[in-house]
């Protein structure tokens, strides 16, 4: 596998990046998601390395995590049986601030997945303009089907090992797939217990009654829709009256549905691992929140209770539903080239990633070739980590901001990210290419900090 470029690039820069990519493939075998994430960034950086040769060595350092923590997590289920899972934390780059990134509890989690997520987080966090570095973590533990007591025991065991690597000035996890307010509560309680400190800034995504921020639950989904609106605005369009399809039905998807609806869009779909729902009347937000966030149910339950307007499709692809806007908000590589072709044939105008790397490289190229506005996750879903950083600010100042204050700041941050990404793409001869703009803008901010701090 080699790097490929969609525009002419200087040969010397291309050769240097290709050599680095081949070293990464040899050094980190069996990590395809990490390779994919690195490849996307490297394919954007040739013009930067050509214009600023002093950054070539920085690229090499940036692709290797500063620290990787792997540990066992023993825990006991309700019947007394003992289980052992693996825990991970990759502290990828701290040049801009404490490592920042979520914890994912899902059977698919392995070191390569965590590295891909942590690598993406470097650039996403840099784009917010806030002082946060990039990291990620999690476990191959599956909380689905487990009792609250079992989840609590797992979280306590997990934090008993991880706590020694965390701190408000060191590494600040948040939630991700499988880790919501409930899990963060158990994790924070154990952190407080073993450290003897009420250090609110050591975790974000907390409940509002104990150090959390208003608007944090909504931030990723809201931010994705706000970025989509900004992309459409450049083209003289908006979300009013547009048909929108959303994949996923977790926290990000639910709040993407909410924000799109608030901006006048007609949201048709949500999905989970078993299938998807098409609701011709538009997704009923209150019912969706009850089924998915309160009851932890399935989208099939939503369809059954919604009535005649909703059709549940077991298996299948949400991307087969014609729409103006598509928001992949589930998981990595869920939107492939075949799905992209279907969306393009059906007239999609914009695609924005609410999840991390949900679109395959081939699908991205198809969207770009068709003139579809495409917002990569490191820009489009940066709202979550941005409000996590705002939560850290509130914790440090012992303040609580209102929902209106937080969402106003979020809107400004997302507009600034869009402007930065668009201007950077223009500056490097790739107008409208949000992938290149996001990769380059994030890289330049981190790289400049790394150069200023010496060889670290």
| Residue 175 labeled ligand binder | yes
| Residue 360 labeled ligand binder | no
Q: Which of 115, 136, 259, 292 is catalytic?
A: 136
| Residue 292 labeled ligand binder | no
Q: Both tokens of residue 294?
A: 């309160």
Three-class SS of residue 185?
A: helix
- Please say if 136 is a catalytic residue: yes
| Residue 201 labeled ligand binder | no
- Look at residues 228, 258, 252, 231 and name the one whose alpha carbon lies nearest to residue 355: 252
At residue 54, the pLDDT reads 87
Cβ atoms within 10 Å, residue 322: 14
Q: Both tokens of residue 67?
A: 């620290």
User: Which element (helix H / strand E) includes 135?
Assistant: strand 133-139
Q: Please state, in angstroms and as integers, the Cα–Cα distance from residue 438 to each residue in 348, 402, 409, 426, following that order.
A: 22, 30, 20, 11
Question: Residues 213, 184: contact at Cβ < 8 Å?
Answer: no
Q: Both tokens of residue 434?
A: 């949000």
Range list of β-strands (E), 140-242: 171-174
Cα-atom radius of gyration of the chain, to the nearest Å?
Answer: 21
Residues 244 and 46: their CA atoms lie apart, in Å, by 35
- Look at residues 140, 153, 148 and name the one whose alpha carbon lies nearest to residue 106: 140
DSSP state of 411: H
| Residue 394 labeled ligand binder | no
Q: Please state, in angstroms and as integers, the Cα–Cα distance from residue 324 to each residue in 118, 192, 263, 321, 419, following that order.
A: 31, 47, 14, 10, 23
User: Which element (helix H / strand E) includes 422?
Assistant: helix 403-427
Q: Residue 272 — φ and ψ, nearest 5°? A: -145, -170
Burial of 222 (0-12, 13-18, 19+ CB in 10 A): buried
| Residue 100 labeled ligand binder | yes
Residues 384 and 381: their CA atoms lie apart, in Å, by 7
Helix ranges (DSSP H) in 196-290: 216-234, 251-262, 285-288
At residue 98, the pLDDT reads 98
Q: Residue 413 — φ and ψ, nearest 5°? A: -60, -45
Residues 261 and 242: their CA atoms lie apart, in Å, by 10
Q: Residue 14 — φ and ψ, nearest 5°? A: -65, -40
Question: Residues 221, 259: contact at Cβ < 8 Å?
Answer: yes
pLDDT tens sequence for the chain (456 residues): 899 998 899 899 999 999 999 999 999 999 999 999 999 999 999 999 999 988 989 999 999 999 999 999 999 999 999 999 999 999 999 999 999 999 999 999 999 999 999 999 999 999 999 999 999 999 999 999 999 999 999 999 999 999 999 999 999 999 999 999 999 999 999 999 999 999 999 999 999 999 999 999 999 999 999 999 999 999 999 999 999 999 999 999 999 999 999 999 999 999 999 999 999 999 999 999 999 999 999 999 999 999 999 999 999 899 999 999 999 999 999 999 999 999 999 999 999 999 999 999 999 999 999 999 999 999 999 999 999 999 999 999 999 999 999 999 999 999 999 999 999 999 999 999 999 999 999 999 999 999 999 998
User: Cα-Cα-Cα-Cα dihedral of 183, 185, 186, 188, to 10°?
Assistant: 120
Residues in the chain, overall count = 456
| Residue 333 labeled ligand binder | no
Three-class SS of residue 280?
A: coil
Q: Residue 288 — φ and ψ, nearest 5°? A: -60, -45
Residues 24 and 93: their CA atoms lie apart, in Å, by 17
Three-class SS of residue 328?
A: strand
Q: Both tokens of residue 246?
A: 């959303």
Range list of β-strands (E), 66-153: 67-76, 82-93, 99-105, 133-139
At residue 6, the pLDDT reads 87
At residue 456, the pLDDT reads 84
């Amino acid at each position: 596998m080699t790097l490929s470029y969609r525009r002419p690039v200087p040969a010397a820069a291309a050769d240097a990046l290709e050599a680095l990519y081949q070293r990464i493939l040899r050094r980190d075998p069996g990590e395809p998601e990490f390779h994919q994430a690195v490849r996307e960034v490297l394919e954007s950086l040739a013009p930067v390395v050509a214009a600023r040769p002093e950054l070539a060595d920085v690229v090499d350092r940036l692709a290797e995590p500063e620290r990787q923590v792997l540990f066992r997590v023993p825990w006991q289920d309700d019947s007394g049986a003992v289980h052992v899972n693996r825990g991970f934390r990759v502290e990828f780059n701290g040049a801009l601030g404490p490592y920042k990134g979520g914890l994912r509890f899902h059977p698919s989690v392995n070191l390569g997945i965590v590295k891909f997520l942590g690598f993406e987080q470097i650039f996403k966090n840099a784009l917010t303009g806030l002082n946060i570095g990039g990291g990620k973590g999690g476990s191959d533990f599956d909380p689905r089907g487990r009792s609250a007591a079992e989840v609590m025991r797992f979280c306590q065991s997990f934090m008993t090992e991880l706590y020694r690597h965390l701190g408000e000035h060191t590494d600040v996890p948040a939630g991700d797939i499988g880790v919501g307010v409930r899990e963060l509560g158990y994790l924070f309680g154990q952190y407080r217990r073993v450290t003897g400190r009420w250090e609110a800034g050591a975790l974000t995504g907390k409940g509002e009654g104990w150090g959390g921020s208003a608007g944090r639950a909504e931030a990723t989904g809201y931010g994705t829709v706000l970025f989509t609106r900004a992309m459409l605005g450049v083209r003289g369009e908006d979300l009013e009256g547009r048909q929108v399809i959303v994949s996923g039905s977790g926290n990000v998807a639910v709040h993407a549905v909410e924000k799109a609806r608030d901006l006048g869009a007609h949201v048709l779909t949500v999905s989970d691992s078993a299938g998807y729902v098409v609701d011709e009347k538009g997704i009923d937000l209150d019912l969706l929140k009850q089924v998915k966030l309160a009851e932890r149910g399935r989208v099939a339950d939503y369809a059954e209770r919604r009535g005649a307007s909703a059709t549940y499709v077991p298996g299948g692809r949400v991307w087969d539903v014609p729409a103006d806007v598509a928001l992949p908000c589930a998981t990595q590589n869920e939107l492939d080239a075949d799905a992209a072709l279907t969306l393009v044939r059906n007239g999609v105008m914009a695609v924005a990633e609410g999840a991390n790397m949900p679109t395959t490289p081939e699908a991205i190229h198809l969207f770009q070739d068709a003139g579809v506005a495409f917002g990569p996750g490191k820009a489009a879903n940066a709202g979550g980590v941005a409000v996590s950083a705002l939560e850290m600010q509130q914790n440090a100042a012992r303040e609580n901001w209102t929902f209106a204050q937080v969402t106003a700041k979020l809107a400004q941050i997302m507009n600034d990210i869009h402007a930065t990404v668009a201007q950077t793409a223009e500056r490097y001869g790739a107008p409208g290419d949000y992938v290149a703009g996001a990769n380059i803008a994030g890289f330049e901010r981190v790289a400049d900090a790394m150069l200023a701090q010496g060889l670290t």
